[in-house]
Structures are given as structure tokens and as C-alpha cells.
Amino acid sequence: MRLDTGLFQQQTQKQILSPQMIQSMEILVLNQQQLEERINEELESNVALEKLDREGSETSSGGEDSTEASTEAAADDVDLFDDSKEVSDLAELRDLGERYEQLHELQQADFWAESSPGRKSSLAGGEDEFEWVDHVEGPAESLSENLLGQLRLKPIPSDRQRALCEEIIFNLDERGWQLHSLAEIARGIAEGIHSSESDPRLGEVTPSEAEWEDALHMVQSLDPAGVGAENLIDCLCLQLQRDPGDNQFEEMVVRLHLDDLAKNRLPHIAKSTGRSIEDVKLAIEVIRSLEPNPGRHFVKTVNPRIVPDIVIERDTDGIYSAEVGGQSTPKLRISPHYRELLEGAKKDKELRKYLRKHIENAEWLMGAVQQRNSTLQRVAEEILKRQQKFFSDGDRYLAPMRMQDVADAIGVNVSTVSRAISGKWYQSPGMLRELRSLFSGGTVRDDGAEESRGGIIARIKELVGAEDPRKPMSDATIVKELEKSGVRISRRTVTKYREAEEIPSSRERRQY
């Protein structure tokens, strides 16, 4: 081993990813919605990139397809794309960009002014100027806002008690249950009763336990029934107490046998309460009609927008075909005007560098999008070759398929297939699912054919759906039934698949 220092030459091989390759991999991972957002961002930032409509005519990058008469007049004054103009230096080009942004803002202002219902003009003023606000849906009412609104209509004897009720309402979670116990709320108020942040309606006297109990009962009397509960049992009992009729037996089942009820132990409940199975079944029907989450209707969830990356259709001969890149994907091209500017800017190196950079970025993006669609198309076609029976006959016939099998068939690396199917969705007749759900392992049947995991789960669901409700099949029985079809798996595997699909156990499925 040499310990001295010196200069040496050595040849090595390294794999270095170019910016184009990195961009291609980033584009390949994007789903259809993300790709559209990525293209729109590039249209806004790159003046050399243009979007074409479906008929092939040019539309401005980042603008609308149509403009009104007032905007067209402004465009005639600016005359951005007049070929008779000569841009001689970078300063003039930048000035061109600033004028384009001004035009774009003008178009947007005119668009909103015309599309806003009931609004005459942004310059007209008057009472009708913001009439369109009345037609816009307001924010959804929260549970606490609804309860406070009901509280204002209640005949409460004092402002002090009203303040205690509001404090309890502010300490409810989105389900309508108590976020903190009544003792914890009272302790917090007692500690801050003399501070500057204390509610002046409470005065300087610490509220008593009886006052807190009265305030809690007042909140629990509001709608929906069950709000202000301490836990699930309390929530269900509050609703039973509000329900007209004799619900003492149902309330006893909730308080003493809720766990037995969840595990379908009806004989144990009947024996413990001294009632018949029929009485227990009638009580269960009443309990099932209750709402364990009273604040559910005040929680607004927005369903995510899913744009399918692959659309699978069936022709008259029963053959499925796949199409990648829906109608929502913009068609792009390099602006001919900026190509001419690049050819005419031979003497200005800075201007030429500026134009070449934007044109090259646009070409890289267009190439990456085209390569993404091509790769995804090849993957989709190979999947269709292997899963024709699944698309025609259902989940039972999903064939085992690995990403490595598809990668070998189309001649790419398995990581490319992984990126291509990541976060992608396919739409076929009767289903909209993730593309990755088509890839699964499986087992070999007695006849030598392979059975996928999805196919085995579909068989288990069929067996459970066809069983006698009074004598449901155990996992061991399901194993024996699968063996009759040539599928040999362990009881532990059946249990794992059943629990993954949230299928109850045989005892919980039994009907008395």
C-alpha cells in the first residue's frame, strides 16, 4: 500500500442521469390530473409553448380559447404576434412579455365580469355590482354553529348558564361527543376565572357542580339527539331516552351488553337478561336505528376528482382495447413565432440563449409527455392480453400477474413499470379502479393453472354469500370447500383474506 501523495489517472464507468431523463421519470409518475396541472404550469411559464384545441387551431399559452369584443380591441392595440415586428434585443422581448401579462389580466377580468351572474359591470357600480354573491353557495354550517343557534332560541334563565352551555359546546368533537370530561372543563374554567381572558358573564364565583350538570343537560337536549355524550354508550342511551316509548330493555342492553352485541352473542344476552331471543332481536333492531355519530351530517367531505389515465372499452366482437391520455390532455406545440425570433437573433447572443432555453424546455416536456403516454399504452396493452377474462367475467377470473412479467414482455425495466402504474387509474365498463390492483400474486391449482389472490377472495365471498345464515361456515370449512375447486390454501390464509375484506367470523355471521 502506497502512503505517498500524487496525481493518478483512472478510468471508471458511471451512470449519470441527464436532465431530460430525470424529467421523463418525473412525468411518467404523474397521473392524468397531475399531468394536466404540470402542463398548465409550463404553459404559464414558457412563452415558447402553445396549446392547440381539438381542431388543431392555436390558443394562447395560459389564456382562454375565446375572448369578448372589448378584449379583442385591447389585443389589436397590443398586437403581440404581429410578424411584421422585429425584436432586436432582449429588452424589447421582456417588454413584450410584460404587455402579454397585462393583456392576460385584462382577459381574466373581462371573463369574470361577463360570467358572474347578476353582475352588470366591474366599472358600473351601484347596488347590483355584487349581486352575484347571492348566488354563490356559502360555507357549510358546523355542528357548534348549529348548536349555538339553537341555544339562542332556548329560554335560559341567566347569562351565566348560557356561558357554561357555550363552553361545553366549544369542547365537543366533530362526532358531537365530549372532547374533555365535564370535570376537566370545570377545572379549566375554575383556574382562569380571575384572569383577563375569563368570560365576564361568569363573574368571579366558580361555577358549582350542579350548575355544570344543568348546563350539560341543556346541551344534551339540543338536536341532533346524542350530542354532549361522554362516550358511545352514553350517546346511544341519550337517543333512547329521547325516543318515545318504553326503551328500558334496549337501554339495559346498551349499558351492559354492548360488547356481546358487537360479537353477536345473542344467547348470552338472552340468558343474562331473562328475555327470549326474539326480544333481543327486536331490541337490536331499535339499537341499529340509532346514530353513533350525531355530528356526521355536519362534516362535509369532498370526494376527490379522479380522471382515468387508461380507458378500456369493449368492441362488438367482445375484444377489449385500451386508450391512454384522455380528451382532457392538452395538445402542445412550439410557437412558430418564437422559432422565427430564434432564427433572426443571430447577432444577439443573450437573446438567442434566452429563446433557445425556452424552446428546448418545451421540446423536453413534449418528448417526456409523449414517452409517458407510449410507455403507459404498452403497459396497458400487455395487461389486456393477460386479463381479458377478468374484464369480461369479473373478479373471480383475475389472473396472477407480476410487474416483472409485464416488464419482460414489453422490454423495459421493472422500475419503469412500477412508475408507470403508480397512482394511475383505469376505467372499464362497470368499474373505476387503481391500475395497481390488477397486479397480484397467487397459487397453483390442482389442474396446474394459477389462481390469483383476488380470485381466491372472490371464491371466499361466493361461499360466504351462499351459506346458510343459521349455520355459517367456519374458516376450516371454507378451506375444505376451496380444496374441492382445486385451490389449496391454509386456514390462516383464509382468515387473513377474510379479515382484510372485513368479513365477520362465523359466530358473528350467524343469525338466530
DSSP characters over 333-398: EE-HHHHHHHHH-SS-HHHHHHHHHHHHHHHHHHHHHHHHHHHHHHHHHHHHHH-HHHHHH-GGGP
User: Which has the closest alpha carbon to 412: 400, 424, 423, 420?
Assistant: 420
What is the pLDDT, as a whole number, of residue 117? 45
Confidence of residue 59 (pLDDT cuts 50, 70, 90): low
Please state the rounded mean pLDDT for residues 80-87.
Answer: 40
Residues 6+ apart with CB under 8 A from 85: 79
Q: 431-474, pLDDT tens digit by residue?
A: 889 999 888 877 777 666 777 788 888 888 888 888 888 888 98
Rounded-to-integer distance, Cα 325 and Cα 31, Å? 10
Q: What is the DSSP letter of 474?
A: P
Please state the rounded mean pLDDT for residues 237-257.
Answer: 89
Query: Is residue 483 scored above 70 in pLDDT?
Result: yes
Report pTM. Answer: 0.62
Confidence of residue 397 (pLDDT cuts 50, 70, 90): confident
What is the pLDDT, as a whole number, of residue 154? 86
What is the pLDDT, as a whole number, of residue 72? 39
Rounded-to-integer distance, Cα 205 and Cα 257, Å? 42
What is the pLDDT, as a whole number, of residue 347? 74
What is the pLDDT, as a whole number, of residue 111? 43
What is the pLDDT, as a whole number, of residue 139? 67
Rounded-to-integer distance, Cα 26 and Cα 31, Å? 11
What is the pLDDT, as a whole number, of residue 120? 42
Please state the rounded mean pLDDT for residues 353-357.
Answer: 84
Q: For cell 377474462, what's the residue? A: 389
- 182-191 and 159-169 are packed helices; what angle lies between their axes, rounded to 10 degrees? 120
Query: Is residue 20 scored above 80 in pLDDT?
Result: no
Contact by Cβ (8 Å): 241, 229:
no
Higher local confidence (pLDDT), 13 or 292: 292
Query: Is residue 491 scored above 80 in pLDDT?
Result: yes
Confidence of residue 297 (pLDDT cuts 50, 70, 90): confident
How is the chain split into domains, by residue range? 143-298, 441-512
Q: Which amino acid is at 239?
A: Q
**What distances in angstroms separate CA 489 from CA 197, 443, 485, 504, one per listed residue?**
66, 8, 11, 19
Please state the rounded mean pLDDT for residues 473-485.
Answer: 88
Task: Tell me what percent of the chain is helix, strand and coil, each rounded to the nearest 5.
Answer: 55, 10, 35
Least confident range from 89-98, 184-193, 485-494: namely 89-98
Rounded-to-integer distance, Cα 245 and Cα 85, Å? 87
Query: Is residue 505 scored above 80 in pLDDT?
Result: yes
Please state the rounded mean pLDDT for residues 409-430.
Answer: 90
Confidence of residue 128 (pLDDT cuts 50, 70, 90): low
CA atoms lying within 13 Å on the CB side of residue 16: 5
What is the pLDDT, as a whole number, of residue 186? 87
What 3-state class would DSSP assign to 397?
helix
User: Which has the closest alpha carbon to 110: 102, 125, 135?
Assistant: 102
What is the pLDDT, as a whole number, of residue 217? 92
Query: Is residue 101 scored above 70 in pLDDT?
Result: no
Please state the rounded mean pLDDT for residues 141-170.
Answer: 89
The CATH number given to 441-512 is 1.10.10.60
Q: Beta-strand (E) ranges in 402-505? A: 425-428, 431-434, 442-444, 450-452
Parallel, antiparallel or unpaired: strands 310-314 and 425-428: parallel
Confidence of residue 138 (pLDDT cuts 50, 70, 90): low
Confidence of residue 375 (pLDDT cuts 50, 70, 90): very high
Least confident range from 250-254, 310-314, 450-454: namely 450-454
CA atoms lying within 13 Å on the CB side of residue 68: 11
Least confident range from 71-85, 388-402, 419-433, 472-486: namely 71-85
Least confident range from 37-51, 110-124, 181-195: namely 110-124
The secondary structure element, H or E, covering residue 310 is strand 310-314
User: Which has the closest alpha carbon to 426: 305, 303, 304, 312?
Assistant: 312
Q: Beta-strand (E) ranges in 17-149? A: 49-52, 58-59
Query: Is residue 306 scored above 50 in pLDDT?
Result: yes
CA atoms lying within 13 Å on the CB side of residue 395: 14
Query: Is residue 477 scored above 60 in pLDDT?
Result: yes
Confidence of residue 252 (pLDDT cuts 50, 70, 90): very high
- 277-288 and 248-262 are packed helices; what angle lies between their axes, rounded to 10 degrees? 90
What is the pLDDT, as a whole number, of residue 124? 46
User: What percentage of the chain has pLDDT greater than the value 70?
Assistant: 80
What is the pLDDT, as a whole number, of residue 122? 41
Query: Is residue 280 scored above 80 in pLDDT?
Result: yes
Q: 107-126, pLDDT tens digit by residue?
A: 444 444 444 444 444 444 45
Query: Is residue 407 scored above 90 in pLDDT?
Result: yes
What is the pLDDT, as a whole number, of residue 362? 86
User: Does the N-terminal peptide bond of residue 224 adopt cis geometry, omega within 30 degrees of 0?
Assistant: yes
User: Which has the closest alpha carbon to 417: 377, 467, 387, 477?
Assistant: 377
Q: 214-227, pLDDT tens digit by residue?
A: 999 999 999 899 99
Rounded-to-integer distance, Cα 379 and Cα 393, Å? 21
Q: Which amino acid is at 491?
A: R
What is the pLDDT, as a whole number, of residue 249? 92
What 3-state class would DSSP assign to 303?
coil
What is the pLDDT, as a whole number, of residue 8? 76
Q: What is the mean pLDDT of the chain?
A: 79
